[in-house]
Amino acid sequence: MLGHDLIDALKPYDLSGVGLGEGSGLGIPYETADLSEQALVDQCWDRIRPELVFHLAAFTNVDLCETERDLASLANTKAVECVARASKRHQAPVVFFSTDFIFDGFQEREYVESDTPNPLSYYGATKRDAEAALKACGGPYVTFRICWLYGARGRSFPASILAQAEKGAPLKVVADQVGRPTYTRDVCNALSRLLSADEKIFHRVAGETFHLANDGTASWADFADETLRLAGYSVKVERITAAQLNRPAKRPAHAVLSLVKTQKILGLRLRPWQAALADFIRERQNSK
Ligand SMILES: NC(=O)c1ccc[n+]([C@@H]2O[C@H](COP(=O)([O-])OP(=O)(O)OC[C@H]3O[C@@H](n4cnc5c(N)ncnc54)[C@H](OP(=O)(O)O)[C@@H]3O)[C@@H](O)[C@H]2O)c1
């Protein structure tokens, strides 16, 4: 989901992709490799000789991570270690994407970058461990914690709400978890702006962690209601609790990421989530 939009946003650069899939339709040179295999990663890196690495690959099905723990650890932690080691040999900074799910969400105030992680889910634990592994490797890296991501490609929350509304299915959505809905395109455009202003930006801020998300907060039910309203539906969702939904992985109730450091150090403040969602819905309707 994020990778497709990043390729679009970074078009002016000489890009290469590496991942599990075939990479067809990406429009860039692509090598198929499991990133949790160090030897394969080393070979790819030696061929590509990257100057900068965006590490997007992950096992992102949070519920499945609870039962598929070995796979989750390989994809979310081991792969980061492999990429970090190979990138260090090339002195290429790794731009890594972590998550609000490393926090427990028990505190009322927003989470700052230096708050201590305490993940409730196995997915969150693998991403916390990945952050630590990246730091321990000793090469240049920057971690962006992002959250509640949706985009044109892949599974996304607003797309599944609209699919259910189109079928006339009843909509029950969790109202007691709050976060910052974030559009992939806004994240990618922000990263592109950073690079075009200063190609060495990720060397300059190496070792830092930043929170990057659209402004404002919402519950999943608020997010769903706004999606339906923007798409022209007059229905509202039935608001339920996370306990009623009872999913395999626990999610934080209030893991709202503070955006202050990112604005102060990088000069980035993304627009309110409602404005981004309106663009997403408009583009989705135009592409039909
Ligand atoms: N989605 C969110 O709400 C969210 C929130 C916070 C942070 N993030 C982070 O943001 C990043 C991008 O997320 P996304 O939602 O764009 O992910 P996504 O759409 O699920 O894409 C992840 C990609 O990683 C690939 N992959 C998995 N294991 C791999 C391995 N061992 N080797 C190579 N490739 C592998 C997957 O390939 P297959 O499709 O072939 O399995 C998939 O194409 C991830 O690091 C994620 O943890 C996401």
Residue 185 has a pLDDT of: 98
Residue 91 domain-assigned?
A: yes
Give the C-alpha separation, 78 to 55, whole Å.
12
Residue 71 belongs to what domain range? 2-153+181-215+257-271
Residue 287 has a pLDDT of: 85
Residues having CB closer than 6 A to ligand 1 are: 1-3, 19-21, 34-36, 56-60, 75, 79, 97, 99, 146-149, 154
* pLDDT above 80: residue 288: no
Residue 173 domain-assigned?
A: no
User: What are the distances in angstroms from CA 86 to CA 93, 213, 243?
Assistant: 11, 29, 43
- To test the pocket of ligand 1, the residue of 41, 56, 187 to mutate (highest count of ligand atoms within 8 Å of its CB) is 56
pLDDT digits (tens, 9 = 90+) for 24-76: 889 999 999 999 999 999 999 999 999 999 999 999 999 999 999 999 999 99
Q: Which atom of ligand 1 is nearest to the CA of 18?
A: 33
* Ligand 1 centroid – CA 133 distance (Å): 18
Residue 255 has a pLDDT of: 94
- To test the pocket of ligand 1, the residue of 7, 60, 103 to mutate (highest count of ligand atoms within 8 Å of its CB) is 60
Residue 221 domain-assigned?
A: no
Residue 28 domain-assigned?
A: yes
What mean pLDDT is predicted for residues 95-111? Answer: 97
Residue 155 has a pLDDT of: 86
Query: Looking at residue 195, which CATH number applies to its domain?
Result: 3.40.50.720
Strands 53-55 and 172-174: unpaired
Q: How confident is the model at residue 261 (pLDDT cuts 50, 70, 90)?
A: very high
Residue 174 domain-assigned?
A: no
Q: Which atom of ligand 1 is nearest to the CA of 74?
A: 31
Residue 88 has a pLDDT of: 98
Residue 169 has a pLDDT of: 85
Residue 232 has a pLDDT of: 96
The two structure tokens encoding residue 229? 């309203």
**Amino acid in the structure at residue 239:** R
**Residue of the nearest CA to atom 5 in ligand 1?**
147
**Residue of the nearest CA to atom 12 in ligand 1?**
56
* Ligand 1 centroid – CA 217 distance (Å): 24
Note the pTM of the prediction, 2 decimals.
0.97
* pLDDT above 90: residue 21: no
* Ligand 1 centroid – CA 57 distance (Å): 4
The two structure tokens encoding residue 10? 């970074």
Residue 142 has a pLDDT of: 98
Give the C-alpha separation, 39 to 187, whole Å.
31
Q: Do residues 131 and 143 lie in contact, with contact meaning Cβ atoms separated by under 8 Å?
A: yes
* Ligand 1 centroid – CA 205 distance (Å): 24
Give the C-alpha separation, 239 to 222, whole Å.
9
Q: Which atom of ligand 1 is nearest to the CA of 36?
A: 31
The two structure tokens encoding residue 269? 């403040």
**Residue of the nearest CA to atom 36 in ligand 1?**
57
Q: Which atom of ligand 1 is nearest to the CA of 98?
A: 7
Percent of the chain residues past pLDDT 90, beyond the cut: 94
Q: Do residues 97 and 142 lie in contact, with contact meaning Cβ atoms separated by under 8 Å?
A: no
Domain count, the chain: 1
What mean pLDDT is predicted for residues 209-237? Answer: 97
Taken as a whole, the chain contains a residue count of: 288
Give the C-alpha separation, 56 to 191, whole Å.
13
pLDDT digits (tens, 9 = 90+) for 117-151: 999 999 999 999 999 999 999 999 999 999 999 99
Give the C-alpha separation, 285 to 265, whole Å.
36
* pLDDT above 90: residue 80: yes
* Ligand 1 centroid – CA 152 distance (Å): 14
Residue 175 domain-assigned?
A: no
Residue 241 domain-assigned?
A: no
Residue 154 has a pLDDT of: 82
* Ligand 1 centroid – CA 3 distance (Å): 8
Residue 76 domain-assigned?
A: yes
* pLDDT above 80: residue 234: yes
* Ligand 1 centroid – CA 55 distance (Å): 9
Residues 6+ apart with CB under 8 A from 196: 12
